[in-house]
Amino acid sequence: MELYYYIAWAAIVSQLLFLFQTYRNYRYAIREYKKKRSWQEKRVALIIPCKGIDSAFGKNIASFFEQDYENCLLWFVVADESDPAYSELCRLKDQLSQTSKAKDVQIFVAGKIDEPRSSEGRDEQQRCSQKIHNLLCCYEKISDDIEILAFADSDVCMRRDWLSHLVWPLRQYRYGAASGYRWFIPGRSNLASLALSAVNAKVVQLLGNTHFNQAWGGSMAIRVDVFRKVGLDKIWPNALSDDLSLTYAVKKAGMKLAFIPACLVASYESTTWGELFEFGRRQFLITRVSRPGTWWFGLFSSLYSVLGLWATAALAIYAAIIKDVNLTLFAAVPIVFFIGQMIRAMLRQKMANQLLKYKSRVTSHPSSEAGLLRRTDESHEMRAACVADILLSWLWSLLLLVFIISSAFGRTICWRGIHYKLLGPTETIVEGGN
C-alpha cells in the first residue's frame, strides 16, 4: 500500500483540478451569454436541413424567421418534395416571410443520396450522409457576397439574437469556427430519457474557453474562406458527420473553435433504452473514427471517473480490514470523487437552468396561454433531469463508459434508416437502407 499512498494524493489533486476547470467553464458560460452582440457586417447564409416534422416544428422554424439579423439569407433544404417537411416549410414561408428580416428565403430540394449529385457538369459518387448531401447542395448555390455559412437543426428553437451571437467570434481570424451545443430536456421522465440528458450534460461541462471545444451541427458557423481553406468542400462529400469533420479540419489547420454559451439550445427528446444505446454507440463510434484523440480522452476520463470512485472505495475497505496507518487518506479518495461528481453535476445543471431560462424569456410570449404552459412543463422536465443528474452522477459515469467501450468495435452504423461504413475521418461508404 506504500505506492498507493502517492497515487491517492495524486488522485485527490487531479480531482480538485478537474473541479476547478469545470467551475471556470461555468463562470465563462454565465459571463458570456449575457453580453449583447450586434455585429452584422458580414452576409450570412443560414442553412437548415429538414427531414420530417418534429414536435413543435412550426415554432422551431418560426424562430429562424424571427432572427434579429438583417444581413442574412434563410435557406431550408430537404431531400425531396415528398418529405412532409417540404409542404409545411412552403406554408410557413408564405406566412412568415413578410415580417422576417432575412434578405431572402429559399426552400431547396437536394435529392436523395442514392441519386448522383452533379457538380460543375460531372457526376460524383455519393459517399456522405444525407444531411451533408443537403448542406452541400446549398453550399454550391452560394454567391460571392456570402461571407459566413451558419448551420442549424430544425428540431430546436432559437432565441432571437442566436445568429448574432454565433457569428460574433468570426470577426477574429484566430477562430476558425463557432458553435453552440444541445441540452437534452426529457420529453418524459422515464429513466432512459433522464440518462440521455445526463450523459449529454457531461459533455457540455467540458466546453468553455478551452481546447476541448467540439462543433455541433445544430448550431455552428464558419467563414466561407475558412471553409475552403481547411478543405471542407473536399472533405464533406466523403464524410458522415458534418460537425466532427468540421472540428477535425479546423483544428488540423491550427485554428481555434469558439464555444458560444448563448447558443446552447434546448432539444426535447424521449427515448428508450434500446434507442439510447444505439445513439450512444453511434456517437462515440463516429468520434472514434473522426476524432480518435477525442475518443481516447473520453475513454481515459471515463475510466478515471469510474475507477476513481469504485476501485478506491474497494482499496479503502481493504485498508480498513488490514488497519493500514493511511486509512484516513485512502477513505478520503472515493469521498472526494463522489462529492466532486455531484458538485460538477450541480454546476452544469445550474448553468443550463440559467442559460435556457434566459432563452425562454426571449422566445416565449407571456401573453400566450400555450407559451405559459410550455414554460411550466419545461421547468418540471428540467427539474427531473437536474435531480437525476446530481443524485445518480455515479451511474451516468458507468453508462458513459459502456457507450465508449461498445464503440471500440466495428465501423458500421445505422442512422435514420441508412447504413454507413466509416473508413476514416474523411471517408465513408453508404451501404444502403430505406
Tens digits of per-residue pLDDT, 49-77? Answer: 999 987 778 989 999 999 999 899 999 99
Instruction: Among 155-159, 203-207, 220-224, 390-394, name the one with the lowest average pLDDT.
Output: 155-159
* pLDDT in the model for residue 113: 75
Handedness of CA 98, 169, 253, 213 (dihedral sign): negative
Do 100 and 75 contact (CB within 8 A), yes or no?
no
DSSP string, 222-264: EEHHHHHHTTHHHHGGG-S-HHHHHHHHHHHTT-EEEEEEEEE
Q: Per-residue pLDDT for 115 more than 60?
A: no
Mention every residue, 6+ apart, whose C-beta is less than 8 A from residue 60: 54, 154, 155, 156, 157, 158
State pLDDT tens for residues 289-334.
Answer: 888 888 999 999 999 999 999 999 999 999 999 999 999 999 999 9
Q: Among all chains, which residue has been given the C-alpha cell 461508404? A: 429
Q: Which domains does the chain have, with CATH numbers?
A: 1-434 (3.90.550.10)
* pLDDT in the model for residue 123: 43
DSSP alpha helix (H) spans, 69-186? 84-96, 130-139, 162-167
Q: How confident is the model at residue 371 (pLDDT cuts 50, 70, 90)?
A: very low
DSSP alpha helix (H) spans, 140-241? 162-167, 191-204, 224-229, 232-235
Instruction: Among 121-135, 191-205, 212-226, 313-327, name the one with the lowest average pLDDT.
Output: 121-135
Instruction: Among 11-15, 44-48, 260-264, 286-290, name the one with the lowest average pLDDT.
Output: 286-290
Question: Integer distance in angstroms from the first to the last C-alpha of the chain?
Answer: 58
* pLDDT in the model for residue 393: 93
Mention every residue, 6+ apart, whose C-beta is less than 8 A from residue 144: none
Instruction: Among 2-11, 193-202, 221-230, 425-434, name the one with the lowest average pLDDT.
Output: 425-434
The reported pTM is 0.84
Q: Per-residue pLDDT for 379 more than 80?
A: no
Residue, of 427 and 333, whose pLDDT is higher: 333
Length of the chain: 434
Q: Per-residue pLDDT for 150 more than 70?
A: yes
Amino acid of residue 66: E
Dihedral of the alpha carbons of 131, 132, 134, 135, in degrees to the nearest 10: 120
